[in-house]
Structure 1
Amino acid sequence: MGIPCKVEEVFGSSYSAAIYISRILKLSAPKNKVFVLGESGVEQELESENVPYCGGTDASLRRDMQPEDYTNIANGSMLDENVGVVLTGLDFHVNYLKLSLGLAYLRNGAKFLATNTDSTLPNSRTLFPGAGSVSAPLVKAWGREPLALGKPSQAMMDAIEGKFHFDRKRTCMVGDRLNTDIQFGIEGKLGGTLAVLTGVSSKEEFLAEGAEIVPDAYVDKLGDLNV
């Protein structure tokens, strides 16, 4: 895209989740395996922190639920006894089998985490289901919300600050979604928040009387800034 940056300067929600699992939860091996509802990006971040996992891109789980699966999940023979965390992200191959396994692990005591809970994903000038739409069936079935490690979670803000040692008062949060990006900056007590109108939220949402999340400034697109 022509934007100069280094890998170390990108701090995504999957990386934040991997950091939280490995450095905050610190589950004792071997009961520290993660069942993933997500794609290879989540797996790569877990690998970077030496966190064991299952599920994810496992091709054997990309199939319809079979009658014997109900029995094998119920009696535990299909479950990995070392799973201590269920981590949901954006999964392009989510299905009933994966959701059933995720619920079974939660019922067995696994912790419920999410890389992020964005309801939608902007692409091709419209919106598609986001990572939050993947975790929603488990939220309904389990009756509890996951701990989200993406924006606006301040656990993510603390992790970023710990890595980059930036001055919050001299930092501006730029984003296109009010309830994640802008809320992240406000709750993190950053020096400013800037909304761009090229993604999810529209200016009518925060200019309306009584709006709960209001950025300090907004531009139609990031390119409107003259620096």
Structure 2
Amino acid sequence: MPPGGTMSKVQNREPADIECWLTDMDGVLVHENKAVPGAADLIQRWVDTSKRFLVLTNNSIFTPRDLAARLRASGLEIPEENLWTSALATAQFLKSQMPHGRAFVIGEAGLTTALHEAGFILTDQNPDYVVLGETRNYSFEAITQAIRLIGNGARFIATNPDATGPSKEGPLPATGAVAALITKATGREPYVVGKPNPMMFRSAMNRIQAHSETTAMIGDRMDTDIVAGMEAGLHTVLVFTGITQPEDIDAFPFRPDQALNSVADLIPHI
């Protein structure tokens, strides 16, 4: 790989021309609850150069305040207003679809708080939507209730498509796996707001008043971060500190605009 870690580049946009940055969190800024080397310096460079940025995560469990505290413990100081979760994106989407609607929610504080703040009533009585998010303790009773409500006409929404999530003991069933169970029982597919739906990125750009022509997305996965960034019209940067590795790229029919060893290699270009 050439010096600086650049593997491939499309010559339409340079990092120095980017005004707004979106970045994935796990595998890009943090790995196993520790900051990736260079991540804190990258955040500081964005602050020093007055760049608008958001850190994105498909995890809908935590509120931005809780997430900021967890990142602080990992060694990263990221203000809560610079965090954008699939829960926030889902709440914004539903607010645009049906202001002051009613929702039956399977999820934790990150999702319920976001929907409350978006003006939704959380109820199991005649909801307009069933909203499925991440939770540490899926309830068979709640899943059964969701199936019945969807059968009675409630619209089915999922915060993200991830089938599994990490834990110290190994993979855990996540939103996508439970959504598949509900789909099998109801015949209804959910509308999924989180990555790789470009809706996640468009809502994030709206949050910081960004334009696709001058916005970049940094991610560690070709099948979520890079493809969604590409479809949203963003400059895409793949880093090899997470899931996708250099030898994996040829398996995909698309390419990132840039591929780097880590976010540390991006700092000199901003």
Q: Same fold (TM over 0.5)?
A: yes
Are 2:221 and 1:177 aligned? yes
Q: Secondary structure at the match of 2:144?
A: helix
* Misfit runs of 4+, over 6 Å: none
CA RMSD of aligned residues (A): 2.3
Judged with a 3 Å threshold, the aligned counterparts in structure 2 of structure 1 residues 125 and 203 are, in CA distance, closer, same or farther, namely farther
Between the two structures, name the one with larger relative contact order (CA 8 Å, sep ≥ 6).
2
Give the stretch that moved more between structures: 121-130 or 109-118. Answer: 121-130
Are 2:155 and 1:114 aligned? no
Whether contact under 8 Å (2:198, 2:232) holds in the other structure is yes
Judged with a 3 Å threshold, the aligned counterparts in structure 2 of structure 1 residues 218 and 129 are, in CA distance, closer, same or farther, namely farther
Counterpart in the other structure of 1:130: 174
Give the stretch that moved more between structures: 120-129 or 108-117. Answer: 120-129
Q: Secondary structure at the match of 1:83?
A: coil
Counterpart in the other structure of 1:43: 112
Counterpart in the other structure of 1:5: 78
Residue in structure 1 matching 2:207, options 139, 160, 163: 163
Is there any run of 5+ residues in structure 2 with no aligned partner, and where? 1-71
Judged with a 3 Å threshold, the aligned counterparts in structure 2 of structure 1 residues 33 and 127 are, in CA distance, closer, same or farther, namely same
Looking at structure 2, the residues matched to 123 and 193 of structure 1 have their Cα atoms a distance apart, in angstroms, of: 29
How many residues align structurally?
A: 195
Q: Secondary structure at the match of 2:130?
A: strand
Whether contact under 8 Å (1:91, 1:134) holds in the other structure is no
Counterpart in the other structure of 1:205: 248
Whether contact under 8 Å (2:126, 2:149) holds in the other structure is no
Looking at structure 2, the residues matched to 220 and 124 of structure 1 have their Cα atoms a distance apart, in angstroms, of: 26
Cα deviation per residue 1:70-109 (whole Å; 9 max; x = unaligned)?
xxxxxxxxxx333111111112111321211110010010
Structure 1 length as normaliser, TM-score?
Answer: 0.76
Counterpart in the other structure of 1:195: 238
Looking at structure 2, the residues matched to 127 and 174 of structure 1 have their Cα atoms a distance apart, in angstroms, of: 25
Q: Secondary structure at the match of 1:165?
A: coil
Counterpart in the other structure of 1:221: 262
Structure 2 length as normaliser, TM-score?
Answer: 0.65
Is there any run of 5+ residues in structure 1 with no aligned partner, and where? 55-79
Cα deviation per residue 1:90-139 (whole Å; 9 max; x = unaligned)?
12111321211110010010011111112233456975433212322112
Q: Secondary structure at the match of 1:172?
A: strand
Looking at structure 2, the residues matched to 125 and 108 of structure 1 have their Cα atoms a distance apart, in angstroms, of: 38
Amino acid corresponding to residue 134 of structure 1 in structure 2 = V
Cα deviation per residue 1:31-90 (whole Å; 9 max; x = unaligned)?
x32111211111111122121214xxxxxxxxxxxxxxxxxxxxxxxxx33311111111
Are 2:190 and 1:146 aligned? yes
Looking at structure 2, the residues matched to 43 and 131 of structure 1 have their Cα atoms a distance apart, in angstroms, of: 15
Whether contact under 8 Å (2:99, 2:120) holds in the other structure is no
Are 2:174 and 1:105 aligned? no
